[in-house]
Chains A and B, each alone.
Chain A
């Protein structure tokens, strides 16, 4: 079984982002970038399926500026076999990413695509569902457990009230939630090995896709700031204030 894992280069989880003073976006110059955390979980799941002998090849795909190749290297160091970079300076939105991935799927013919449920930069949580739609494949989103069984995959999903299990025919798309697994750190030997693994570079035009954004960002602003309130000295004072001042209990 061949697994495709899309990975996104995003501002690192630990960075406190700052809105640019001209309101065009957030500051990314000189900011630490990393693989989207949910995508790390996707790579880990694919690697585990390979270690179990279920998967035979893992292809990591990233899209965006040339530096996205670093994100692919991270996936290769974790255990993916080769990479594909779709290089563009265009602001890629989920619909364009889904169309580009569809074109790659046509070339690569994977049986399973595992990807993050959400990127922590745009918080769209859309690309996996959109790719599934464009391919006419079933989707198992927000997965906390994935089991390949014959020509299908069973996915336990995190839903609002608890867990839901669905059975999908293959090929299928799974998007990862945080409890699916704990991603490994790449070992130094594996980082060295990853340098020799191949990465193919393509342009959107090579895939016949117009990546132009459909959403124009008019402004990006700071959210209204909450003011810190007061410290109370005791539980009794807290309860008194909630009753008489805030009037919420």
Chain B
């Protein structure tokens, strides 16, 4: 059995969620990886250095720039005959592309797996993680997205796989990239950060999210938010942690002014250590927090920043 993993890459490096997807694929058999894009030789070189990868397939063509679903799904379908499993991390790209490829292969995708039982059987969260379903696939080809937080990523260095060019595939021209407006941040990405500090409705405004910044700087943390804070317009949607946002499992998760709706818990309850700061001592977030501080965040956050500065 051989598995093919579609990799997310950026500026010549392989993104951490994709390294988790490679780790998941290694439980299934030999692993090949696919790097698609325009001018992405450096990313293919980085993919070749991932430990445990047997082959890199490089699809370097203008059609694959910006990872549009239509050409990428067509490419995966062309490559599919050689593989028993097609995987990608459950990122914006993986979630967009893999179901499209699955339908073309007449397979039911298995989304967001958190565990692998055997080659046909997988564990995946349903109902915002309030239940775990073990599902067995009857399809001859399994098309899978991987919950990155559930699999420790493979290292970025250590392998030396050969790189092979992908066959030319006819690409559909029904979709076109227009522009991207990406948040500029010096901080680590939410899904890859060792520490995440998130704000909720209790932050009261987008401006107040600045209170999180000195703490995030000190801890090298990514800044996230609850859906309530996104809905209220405090921060953009790419900050959202939860069922309908990003799933994170950092070493330390600090929830500030977040009540702890199940939809939010779905996105962070696998974090190693959870800290909650909330003035409502009945807030459900305290039921999952390792350390709870009942306090007004507007006094606690400056104190926390000062305390971290001191130590």
Q: Is the CB of B127 within 8 A of A11?
A: yes
When each residue 195-235 of chain B gets 1 if its CB lies under 8 Å from chain A and 0 otherwise, what string results?
Answer: 10000000000000000000000010000000100110000
**How near does chain A come to B71, taking the closest CB pair, in angstroms?**
11
In this complex, what residue of A is CB-closest to B117?
A218
A154→B100 contact, CB < 8 A: no
A129 touches B103 (CB 8 A): yes
Q: Mark B279-311, 1 if CB is under 8 A from A, else 0.
A: 001000011111111110000100110011001
Closest CB of chain B to A167's CB: distance in Å? 5
Asked if A248 lies at the interface with its beta carbon under 8 angstroms from chain B, I say yes
For B303, give the chain A residue with the smallest CB separation: A235
Residue of B with least CB distance to A160? B92
Let me know if A238 is at the binding interface, CB within 8 A. yes
The reply on A134 being an interface residue by CB < 8 A is: yes
In the complex the two chains form, is A162's CB within 8 Å of B183's CB? Answer: yes
Contact check, A121 vs B308: say whether CB atoms are below 8 A apart.
Answer: no
Let me know if B136 and A243 touch, CB within 8 A.
Answer: no
B220 to chain A, nearest CB (A): 10
Q: Does B133 contact A (CB under 8 A)?
A: yes
B252 in contact with A125 (CB, 8 Å):
no
Chain A contacts for B98, CB-based, 8 A? 129
A192 at the B interface (CB under 8 A) = no
Tell me if B286 and A228 are in contact (CB < 8 A): yes
- CB B8 to nearest CB in A, in angstroms, measures 8
Which applies to chain A's interface (DSSP): helix, strand, loop or mixed?
A: mixed
Report the bound CA distance from A214 to B128 in whole Å: 22
Does the CB pair A93–B237 fall under 8 Å? no
Taking chain B's interface residues, is the majority helix, strand, or loop, or is none over half, making it mixed? mixed
Nearest chain B CB to A44 CB, angstrom units: 15
**Cα(A228)–Cα(B129), bound, Å:** 18
Q: How large is the interface on A (under 10, 10 to 19, 20 to 34, 35 or more residues)?
A: 35 or more
Inter-chain contact B100/A130, CB cutoff 8 Å: yes
Interface residues of A in 138-185 (CB under 8 A from B): 138-142, 144, 154, 157-169, 172, 177-179
Using known A-B contacts A235-B295, A249-B219, determine if residue A221 contacts B96 with beta carbons closer than 8 Å. no
B272 is an interface residue with CB less than 8 A from chain A: yes
Asked if residues A230 and B300 are in contact (CB atoms below 8 Å), the reply is no
Q: Which residue of A lies closest to B252 (CB)?
A: A248
Q: Once the chains are docked, how many angstroms separate the CA of A61 from the CA of B174?
A: 25
1/0 contact string of A215-237 vs chain B (CB within 8 Å) = 11111111100101111101110
Which residues of B in the span 104-126 have a Cβ within 8 Å of any Cβ on A? 104, 106-112, 121, 124-126
Q: What mask results when residues 81 to 107 of chain A are scored 1 for a CB within 8 Å of chain B, else 0? A: 000000000000111001000000000
Using Cβ atoms and an 8 Å threshold, which residues of chain A touch B124? 123
The verdict on A241 contacting chain B, using a C-beta distance below 8 Å, is yes
Which residues B71-119 have CB closer than 8 A to chain A? 73, 91-93, 95-104, 106-112
- Contact check, A231 vs B275: say whether CB atoms are below 8 A apart: no
The CA of A181 and the CA of B189, in the complex, are separated in Å by 27
Stretch at the interface among B22-30, B37-45, B154-162, B238-246: B238-246
- CB contacts (< 8 Å) of A118 on chain B: these are 244
List residues of chain B with CB within 8 A of the CB of A234: 293
Contact, CB under 8 Å: A223 / B96: no
Shortest distance between the CB of A163 and any CB in chain B (Å): 4
Indicate whether A167 sits within 8 Å of B176 (C-beta atoms), given known contacts A125-B95, A236-B307, A239-B307: yes
- Report whether A231 and B237 are in contact in the complex, using a CB–CB cutoff of 8 Å: no
Q: Which residues of B contact A142 (CB under 8 A)?
A: 92, 95-96
Q: Does B169 contact A (CB under 8 A)?
A: no
CB of A196 closer than 8 Å to a CB of B: no
Distance in angstroms between the alpha carbons of A16 and B138 in the assembled complex: 31
A120 at the B interface (CB under 8 A) = yes
B305 to chain A, nearest CB (A): 9
- 14 cross-chain CB contacts under 8 A: A16-B262, A95-B102, A95-B109, A125-B111, A129-B95, A133-B73, A138-B70, A158-B237, A166-B176, A178-B227, A223-B131, A223-B269, A232-B292, A235-B304
Task: Kindly list 11 other residue pairs between chains A and B, CB separation below 8 angstroms, not including A123-B124, A126-B102, A218-B134.
Answer: A95-B103, A95-B106, A134-B103, A154-B178, A161-B189, A162-B238, A166-B177, A168-B174, A219-B134, A221-B132, A232-B293
Q: Which B residues form the contact surface with A (CB < 8 A)?
A: 66, 68-70, 73, 91-93, 95-104, 106-112, 121, 124-139, 172, 174-183, 189, 191, 195, 219, 227, 230-231, 236-238, 243-244, 246, 251-252, 262-263, 269, 272-275, 281, 286-295, 300, 303-304, 307-308, 311
